[in-house]
Amino acid sequence: MVSAEDTGDAAAGETLETPGRLERLPSRLLAIAAAEAERVVGAGLAAADSRKWHYAVLASLGEFGPASQAALSRRTGIYRSDMVGLLNELAERGLIERTPDPDDRRRNVVTLTELGRSRLHDLDAVQADLQDQLLTPLSTNEREQLVEMLLRLREHHARTSPDSWGT
Amino acid sequence: MVSAEDTGDAAAGETLETPGRLERLPSRLLAIAAAEAERVVGAGLAAADSRKWHYAVLASLGEFGPASQAALSRRTGIYRSDMVGLLNELAERGLIERTPDPDDRRRNVVTLTELGRSRLHDLDAVQADLQDQLLTPLSTNEREQLVEMLLRLREHHARTSPDSWGT
DNA sequence: GTTGAACGTTTGAAGCACTAACGTTAGTGC
DNA sequence: GCACTAACGTTAGTGCTTCAAACGTTCAAC
């Protein structure tokens, strides 16, 4: 992630313009916007000793209650292989607890601790701030339009194929 | 990239809903949309034996004429380390030519071949089709609005910080 | 002329999505 | 009851992409 100005060593004296074909290419703009979002949100959450996946898991637990790791995987879109390490991080911070499920000994029941719940609350505020920061140049109306359109894209492509995620 | 349905082994019988907090989170929706775009465009270009960076470089050459590798880097946002391999791929396919610059022996002048030019033309059609495919659920008007908003986001964040790219 | 910077290139680190396989445990059909 | 299939958590590892560091070479400025 580097500005167009310093991808090479430094600009000599050229125009430095991006080709017209790329300038307004939706897929490219989406990639750029997503990268910006990643940067803004990633940095903001890191400053709060958190990551987007932390928020996703905490939110899932906060809204649906205790769940198995596999259920968390499905709801958040995080691979169950990666969920292991993620939950370790959250457990280290005392935000969740893993206990074996007595009803199904294959499973762990993941529970939000009190600290985790208050942390989620804090992160809600952080997130709101970051999203606001990200969308600064858009009016309230436009933000809604944007979200609406993106939801429609998501829904459309969900039929024909898979997705990845990102907070 | 996997649908929510099969992130784990398979869904048991749970609700499978994503938390409300994540559902409409702009940064998340952008990441999802960008991933979809990547998938659609990536697959489409791959079917045409191409990649998004190929298109970016060819477009840059087509619009601004022959250029050094560094200039291409700056214009496309591709790191000059990665440009080397990229240009190798394009040269293998006979789409570009690298010749030492007589005026500056540090540089290579990268030129579009005739084949490259016609290939660019073909890819224009492919891209148009892919973008259309990507934005299917949006009206013409909405597509313009979306692009406009994304451009504004790009412009805004370009001031405060860097970017990555993507076709 | 010496110094600083841009050039193309190689190498490799870091993070990410993703796959494969494992031992364990549960449900399902028979 | 018992085989069979499948989900569970976990470990290990692959492949891709972005990005950083360093190299010898060539140029420009002073």
- Mean pLDDT, range A101-129, rounded to an integer: 95
What SS3 class is residue A104?
Answer: coil
Measured CA to C1', what is the nucleotide nearest A71? Answer: D8
Q: How far apart are CA B16 and CA A44, in angstroms?
A: 28
Question: Cβ neighbours of residue A33 under 8 Å, at least 6 residues apart?
Answer: B30, B34, B150, B153, B154
pLDDT at A135 (0 to 100): 95
Does strand D come within 7 Å of the CB of A76?
no
Query: Nearest CA of chain B to the CA of A98: how many Å?
Result: 18
CA distances in angstroms from B86 to B53, B90, B95, listed in the order given: 8, 6, 11
- Residue in chain B closest to A70 (alpha carbons) equals B8
Query: Tokens 């940067």 map to which residue?
Result: A39
Q: How far is the CA of B64 from the C1' of C15 (A)?
A: 34
What residues pair up with A93 in beta bridges, in sequence order? none
Q: How far apart are CA A49 and CA A59, in angstroms?
A: 16
Q: How far is the CA of B69 from the C1' of D25 (A)?
A: 16
Nearest by CB to residue B166, choosing from A28, A131, A143, is: A28
Q: Give the number of beta-carbon pairs within 8 Å between A and B.
A: 292
Q: How far is the CA of A5 from the C1' of D24 (A)?
A: 25
CA B35-B41-B47 angle, to 5 degrees, is 130
pLDDT at A3 over 60: no
Query: Does residue B163 contact residue A36 with C-beta atoms inside 8 Å?
Result: yes
pLDDT at A145 over 80: yes
pLDDT at B17 (0 to 100): 78
Measured CA to C1', what is the nucleotide nearest A70? Answer: D8
Chain A positions in Cβ-Cβ contact with residue B21 (cut-off 8 Å): 55, 59, 62-63, 124, 127
What SS3 class is residue A94?
Answer: coil
Query: Does residue B153 contact residue A38 with C-beta atoms inside 8 Å?
Result: no
Nearest by CB to residue B30, choosing from A37, A60, A155, is: A37
CB contact under 8 A, B32 and A150: yes
Tens-binned pLDDT, residue by residue, of chain B (167 aa): 434 444 444 444 455 678 999 999 999 999 999 999 999 999 999 999 999 999 999 999 999 999 999 999 999 999 999 999 999 999 999 999 999 999 999 999 999 999 999 999 999 999 999 999 999 999 999 999 999 999 999 998 877 654 434 44
Please measure the distance between the N-terminal and C-terminal CA atoms of chain B and give it in whole angstroms.
18
pLDDT in tens, A9-59: 544 445 568 899 999 999 999 999 999 999 999 999 999 999 999 999 999
CB contact under 8 A, B146 and A147: no
Proportion of chain A above pLDDT 90, given as a percent: 81
Does strand C come within 7 Å of the CB of A82?
yes
Q: How far apart are CA B33 and CA A152, in angstroms?
A: 10
CB contact under 8 A, A149 and B142: yes
Other C-beta atoms lying within 10 Å of the C-beta of residue B100: 11
Chain A interface test: which of B150, B155, B160 (most A C-beta within 10 Å): B150
Name the residue closest to C6, CA to C1': A9
Instruction: Give the DSSP H/E element, type plus range, for residue A67.
Output: strand A67-68
